[in-house]
A and B are shown apart, each in its own frame.
Chain A
Amino acid sequence: MPALPMRSRLSEDAAGDVAIIQRMAQGDESALGALHDRWSDGVHALVLRIVRDEAEAEEVVEAVFWQGWQQAGRYAGERGTPGAWLLAIARSRALDRLRTIRRRRDDVTADDSVFANEPAIGDPLSDLNTSERAGRVVAALETLPPEQRMVLELAYFEGLSQTEIADQLAQPLGTIKTRARLALRKLRDTLSVLREELAS
């Protein structure tokens, strides 16, 4: 198997995760256990935040790691850290499940192409460990006006379309578009500043 490309700056955690993904891609089953040890709590927290049901969350978490095992060979380091990759899968699967719950349907359409044909996920905090990331992201979110943060949260954690958000917040669609654009760019910029401060 060709070596997976490494990012130029990775935290020790992320570098360890890359090594685990490489082992998984080579068929080392114990590496799946290692990935689970490192990420099950983080994935569970995100999935539970989205589906809000413990039993549903546990099923989704297991599906996420299984998808990780099946697609480890397709993971490409330059597209983002393993953590970002795994959390992207987790969000996608959790939103699928949330929509299924909402529609009260049993058929789950799994998005198994989190990175396929899409531009890379530029992880802005790839050089931080998990606990450091959490504090900085919370701090960055708190710099946003509440109405902008609300749009981000409804989009990211609820998987709502901008039309649904407009309906829910009783705001014009154009207002929601503007808030989404301003919010995400400001969040990106704030995270970049935090990263530069950390580096200096």
Chain B
Amino acid sequence: MTTPLSHDEAFAMLPELALDLLSPDDAATLMAFVQTSPACQAELASLRGAAGAMASAVSPAPMGDAKKRTMRDRLVSRAVASTRADATGADDGGVEPSAATVPIAPPAATTSPLRLEPRDVLPEKHEPGAPDRRRRPAWQVLPWMAAAASIGIALAQLRTTSELTAERDAARAALTSATASTTQLSAQLASRDSLVAAMTGAQVSVVELASTAKLPPGARMFWDRLTNRWTLITHDLQPAQAGRTYQLWLVTAKAEKISAGTFNTDAQGRAVVQATYALAEADLAAIAITEEPEGGSPQPTGTILVAGTPAPTR
């Protein structure tokens, strides 16, 4: 944008700004104009709100309980450390949080104000015949013996505490690992249960998709009309070429092609695709898979690879 913007031009471009579609230079120019126009500011705010609302349309993807708990504990610990650092004038530095940068308490100090240096305990040489300067009255030696005994006990306790702490930490790590494994297995089981339910529900229709060419690929769609859940399972569908993707289409009785998502297959040609879309039973005319440019297409552009029509309802 080299020429000054008119109000109408700027107003028209606000959706592009709200969606971060503009180049940094163009965005800066437009933002400068927006700062001068209350109408543009209000419009941009409402458009940003609409764009931001798209975050709500994302399918739920909860983290596992164990991961969530671990992350939560790490964050709170880090916040506590940060608060303390602020109080003492230290600077957290705004380092990216990650498992590697979570503040870890330094190892317990192993020095003690009562620690004896070697020179304090080495025996002095005693010359034969010389007066024994080391010999001291018992009342002078006893306190030193008592102090030495206390230090010995303290050091032993320190070592024992350190060992116990290490054992406790190891046990905690093992428990966390076991909990994570259990959670992962539970999630896998729940996912499979969900998949089975999506294919075996009382209201599930099955649509067979067959290849349009003399090729082996095929697919089967399970449509749970009760939950509007669509589950597609492909077989022998070779992975899409680089820069391409497969796209699933629901074709309505009015010949509308509704994208139900993009996917790719594994080396064995298998894929499981799930989508949720409300469609009246009578409105579904066909289901098809095409190969499209990576990211998908608003309407099918590639050849139909497999397609099928729903069986008449009994």
Contacts and interface: CB of A to CB of B under 8 A. Distances in A.
Interface of A: 27, 29-30, 32-33, 36-37, 40-42, 44-46, 48-49, 58-59, 61-63, 65-66, 69-70, 80, 84, 87-88, 90-91, 108, 110, 117-125, 130, 133-134, 136-138, 140-141, 145-150, 152-159, 161-162, 165, 168-170, 177, 180-181, 183-185, 187-188, 191
By DSSP majority rule, is chain A's interface helix, strand, loop, or mixed?
helix
Contacts of A157: 54
B55 A91 contact: yes
A71 to B, nearest CB: 11
Interface stretch (B105-113, B205-213, B280-288, B295-303): B295-303
Contacts of B57: 134, 137-138, 141
B19 A119 contact: no
B50 A29 contact: no
B59 A45 contact: yes
Contact of B48 (A42, A59, A117, A122): A122
A120 to B, nearest CB: 4
A44 B62 contact: yes
A185 B61 CA distance: 28
A90 to B, nearest CB: 7
By DSSP majority rule, is chain B's interface helix, strand, loop, or mixed?
helix
B19 A88 contact: no
B162 interface: no
Nearest to B41: A119
A122 B47 CA distance: 8
B88 interface: no
B63 A125 contact: no
Interface string B32-67: 001000000110111111111111111111110001
Contacts of A33: 72, 75-76
A123 B49 contact: yes
Nearest to A93: B96
A118 B49 CA distance: 13
B74 interface: yes
